[in-house]
């Protein structure tokens, strides 16, 4: 519904939808990165699979490799000794902190989108690139995230993986459509 409202607003105010989408693409990637900080801090169950392996990189903090999400809002895990009240549980073993990984990757992808924003054409292609990058990032992070698996067309996947593939397909299709509809003019013209 929000997308429809934005498109109607843009048309009413004579703002090109493709230009608006391109303007929003870097901000959407950064907003996703910031939103994942909230997932990590709250411990909302968006964590990765169990990870009891020792930290392979000595200079990074252990919590960046394996985190037990103390005081998580799902109240999942085992009680924290000495803690009283709500949110006094933590996971019994550390898990991959996937929200932190997404924060890092999406921040990098924000800078990629920001760097190419003035050069990528046709208009709308930056938004298509955002869809592709966001879908790829999400697809790969799902490989280490705790999620419910389901059977889909003979494959065992998560709902997020299906959505991720959809984002990539829509992004590629949009880019191809825009390139055909708005071909770049050569310098000889």
How far CA 181 is from CA of 124, 125, 184, in Å, comes to 11, 12, 10
Position 138 pLDDT exceeds 70 = yes
Helix axes 125-141, 98-116, angle to 10 degrees: 160
pLDDT of 167: 97
For the segment 91-98, the average pLDDT, to the nearest whole number, is 96
Q: What is residue 155's three-state secondary structure?
A: strand
The first and second tokens of residue 80, run together, are 């924290």
What are φ and ψ of residue 149, in 5° steps? -90, 150
The pLDDT value recorded for residue 187 is 43
Structure confidence by residue, pLDDT tens digits, 53-70: 888 888 889 999 999 999
Distance in angstroms between the alpha carbons of the first and the last residue of the chain: 42
Place of tokens 């919590």: 63
Among 3, 12, 5, 32, CA closest to 141: 32
Residue range 1-43, pLDDT digits in tens:
778 988 898 889 988 999 999 999 999 999 999 999 999 999 9
Residue 106 has pLDDT above 90, yes or no: yes
């Amino acid at each position: 519904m929000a997308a429809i409202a934005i498109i109607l607003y843009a048309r009413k105010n004579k703002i090109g939808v493709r230009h608006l989408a391109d303007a929003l693409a870097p901000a959407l990637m950064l907003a996703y990165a910031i939103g994942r900080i909230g997932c990590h801090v709250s411990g909302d169950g968006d964590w990765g699979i169990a990870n009891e392996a020792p930290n392979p990189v000595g200079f990074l903090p252990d919590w960046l490799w394996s985190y037990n999400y103390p005081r998580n809002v799902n109240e999942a895990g085992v009680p924290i000794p000495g803690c009283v009240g709500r949110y006094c549980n933590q996971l019994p073993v550390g898990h991959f902190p996937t929200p932190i990984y997404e924060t890092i990757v999406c921040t990098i992808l924000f800078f990629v989108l920001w760097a190419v924003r003035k050069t990528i054409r046709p208009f709308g292609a930056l938004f298509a690139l955002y869809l592709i990058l966001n879908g790829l990032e999400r697809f790969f992070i799902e490989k280490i995230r705790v999620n419910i698996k389901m059977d889909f067309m003979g494959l065992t996947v998560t709902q997020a993986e299906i959505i991720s593939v959809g984002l990539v397909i829509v992004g590629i299709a949009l880019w191809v459509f825009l390139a055909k509809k708005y071909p770049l003019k050569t310098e000889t013209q």
